[in-house]
Copies of this chain bind each other. A is one copy, B any other.
Amino acid sequence: MEVKVMKNILGENDRIAAENRAMFQEKKVYVLNLMGSPGAGKTSVLEKTMEYLKDKVHMAVIEGDLFTSKDAERIEKHGVPVIQINTAGGCHLDAPMVQQTAKDLDLDGLDLLIVENVGNLVCPADFPIGADDSAVVLSITEGEDKPMKYPLIFKESSIVLLNKVDLVPYCNFSLANAEEDIDTLNPGVKIVEVSCTKNQGIEDWCGWLLQKVAEKKGAQA
């Protein structure tokens, strides 16, 4: 009985995620679902991304948090349209939330929409929102054992950002081991070593995003 109800809920989410995907396809907006633990550095990566991309593409951001609009305030300073979703305690964004929010954006004028999910390495991976791709940000301060302990989110992502690599000298973290584990879970997945404070890896990451946006624009609606 419980399983059936859960399946119904997930079925409903998947149905609306498919609607979202069709809507973004029609508008040729490339949508990225940005996930990671609390404090992995998702918003900092976004800030660097906006600095690099905002004059190259028309972008917007949806911010997901349980409470507060702290992240949206950080995004807004960069002059990029942003809408904050508060889940009021909910541990992930779902497809209906994104659908409702996307209606308030001018999709016709957009190339790129980044959805920063709630800080959580588990639940967001279970709820598709209708994005083209998922990305996971892992801070090296979280420890190199995390990919194997939280495999689903690494398996589902098309790109993995290993963030805060400037702190490697002060932490017990082997980039080689972590990257090997990630490649075992998701063979060939793109991995970028990033430091927002040192501006490292941003060009590589943003180049990947620009390529994805160009492919979407070029695709038949």
A203 contacts the other chain (Cβ, under 8 Å)? no
* List of B residues within 8 angstroms of A150 by Cβ: 38, 66, 119
Segment 189-216 of A: residues with Cβ below 8 Å from B: none
* In the complex with contacts A120-B121, A141-B139, A170-B167, A146-B38 CB distance below 8 A: yes
Question: Which of under 10, 10 to 19, 20 to 34, or 35 or more describes the interface residues of A?
Answer: 35 or more
CA distance A150 to B151 in the complex (A): 23
> Is the pair B148, A70 in contact by a Cβ cutoff of 8 Å?
yes
* In the complex with contacts A39-B139, A139-B141, A146-B39, A152-B89 CB distance below 8 A: yes
* List of B residues within 8 angstroms of A94 by Cβ: none
CB distance from A100 to the nearest CB of B (A): 17
From the candidates B38, B145, B148, B166, name the one contacting A142 in the complex (CB within 8 A): B38
CB distance from A32 to the nearest CB of B (A): 21
CA distance A146 to B91 in the complex (A): 14
CB distance from A124 to the nearest CB of B (A): 10
CA distance A148 to B151 in the complex (A): 28
A97 contacts the other chain (Cβ, under 8 Å)? no
Determine the residue in chain B with the shortest Cβ distance to A9.
Answer: B2
Determine the residue in chain B with the shortest Cβ distance to A91.
Answer: B122
A149 contacts the other chain (Cβ, under 8 Å)? yes
> Is the pair A119, B119 in contact by a Cβ cutoff of 8 Å?
no
A67 contacts the other chain (Cβ, under 8 Å)? yes
* List of B residues within 8 angstroms of A28 by Cβ: none
A5 contacts the other chain (Cβ, under 8 Å)? yes
CA distance A80 to B153 in the complex (A): 32
CB distance from A99 to the nearest CB of B (A): 18
